[in-house]
Chains A and B, each alone.
Chain A
């Protein structure tokens, strides 16, 4: 330290030993989750890395902003009721944005680390495979929360300020709870599917394209089996990308798009997909030989 005048000092400490506290595994998980979130959203990266996440997040919020804006700015019921988003049906406006976002988020989080060797570097820290995956899962699910939780929450808050929200505190808290549970359900399923795809290939593009292809193929396949071949309507559950959004309807007590499928089956399908997807990730990383 060099004394200049009074209390003013110039610190010239240089490299020295550190004897303070260390945050251990929780701190490592937090740091990797936050850094991964930044990477996914393109924060601190070049402009081209920001384009897709900003676009996807923006698209997810556009309907919310429009509905709240119309409700606040225009008197009376300008839009017919079926064109105004209720909380359960909101995801119907942004399903594509959510699924595409999910298709790209996990590959960004997982694939690069394996390809470059950053995974080995992370595993030379207090993290091990399980805690590393937990950090990545938190980052992927948290980032998905931007598009699954944020927009309906914005609708709720906007409607509340416009006095067109749920009646009473209990009703308001009930809707808030449903919004949170719905967002968690959708994020969990899509996180598991997207992470599973990302754990099976070392190419980000292959993982993303794989997810997108499943999104395109599975609804058609389910429709062909049920509507075309006359199979049981329960075959709808193979459409793993529609089931999370179907579950949202059921959370709000609505029949949804596939009323012939029981709620328990929709819930079970989502649970199975989430557990199976995470199981694939764990299986793949347990088998991975990480030597450096």
Chain B
């Protein structure tokens, strides 16, 4: 996607399956441009795009009736009531007036704003306004909702609630979700698939389980004991005697060279045998953060 002065997306070849898919990238990675292309707000300068089997260009009106979009920007008119806002957008997306009325209430109840639905939007908190944006995306019963930074500005509790609602929407109603976010942790928590962008290029895509998670090693974090400072060295020595590769950084050890179960057994035995104390032990997982850094480095 070429803008007059910048190339926002470059050589992107992406396939997004059903379920909840995370669209990940730093600011300026091209997430919003990709969403705009999907909605037909922008036309690709090269290549093609299909969403739900339709071309956002010629089939735009038909396609967009099937998509609920929750934008990142605060687009809520302050003096309009939440119910009126949601009802209006449900009508614009094609619902008959009576149906739009009842579904506006239902959607606002679903996102936890049933009691607040007749309040003017300007009087609502950031968390409530984010919920209203989700409700308007849901009201017309889309096949797919596209949410751009839906947890932006939310505190941890509100963020958890918002993510729970998104999961509920997918599991209970079968509505596919494309969730754009730069918060990798929340993507890892609720998404089944991920598309990682960096500076307009594809860094990685696929099932979260395949891209992150168990990497075949074990991580051990020991406690530094004042009365037995040699205990960590003793654990390392014991493991190395067993032929296990140990990468040590202070009290943290990364073990590799055997299967995960065997590494766990050997490390427990070594800790028990040396009298060391363990703070944390478990299979080593690659986080989305690490994937982002590793793959981004590889691409650039």
Contact = CB atoms under 8 A, between A and B. Distances in A.
Nearest to B39: A124
B32 interface: yes
Contact of B106 (A15, A49, A120, A123): A15
B224 interface: no
Contacts of A28: 61, 91-94
B141 interface: yes
Contact of B110 (A14, A32, A117, A127): A14
B36 interface: yes
Interface in B44-70: 60-62, 64-65, 67, 69
A15 B81 CA distance: 20
Interface string B1-15: 001000000000000
Given A31-B91, A291-B42, A292-B32, A126 B61 contact: yes
A216 interface: no
Interface string A2-40: 000000000001111110111111011001100100010
B140 A112 contact: no
Contacts of A27: 91-92, 94, 96
Contacts of A35: 88
B277 interface: no
B80 interface: yes
Interface of A: 13-18, 20-25, 27-28, 31-32, 35, 39, 44-46, 49, 112, 116-118, 120-128, 131, 289-292
A116 B41 contact: no
Given A14-B106, A122-B92, A125-B65, 17 more contacts: A13-B102, A22-B94, A22-B140, A23-B94, A24-B94, A25-B61, A28-B91, A31-B88, A46-B79, A116-B74, A120-B75, A121-B75, A125-B64, A125-B89, A126-B62, A290-B42, A292-B71
A22 B142 CA distance: 12
Contacts, number: 130
Nearest to B137: A124
Contacts of B65: 22, 24, 125-126
Contacts of A39: 77
Interface string B169-184: 0000110000000000
Cβ-closest 5 pairs across A and B: A22-B94, A124-B69, A18-B141, A126-B61, A117-B73
Contacts of A122: 92
Main secondary structure of the interface of A (DSSP, over half): loop
A27 B98 CA distance: 13
Interface of B: 3, 32-33, 35-36, 39-42, 60-62, 64-65, 67, 69, 71-77, 79-81, 84, 88-89, 91-96, 99, 102-103, 106-107, 109-110, 138, 140-141, 146, 148, 173-174
B96 A23 contact: yes
7 contacts: A22-B65, A24-B94, A44-B80, A118-B75, A120-B73, A126-B64, A292-B72
B27 to A, nearest CB: 13
A124 B67 contact: yes
Contacts of A291: 32-33, 36, 41-42
A21 B96 contact: yes
Contacts of B3: 289
A207 to B, nearest CB: 18
A224 B103 CA distance: 60
B64 A16 contact: no
A22 B95 contact: yes
B40 A17 contact: no
Contacts of A128: 40, 60-61
Nearest to B133: A121
A39 B79 CA distance: 10
A22 to B, nearest CB: 3
Contact of B74 (A17, A32, A117): A117
A121 B89 contact: yes
A123 B56 CA distance: 12
B200 to A, nearest CB: 13
A50 to B, nearest CB: 11
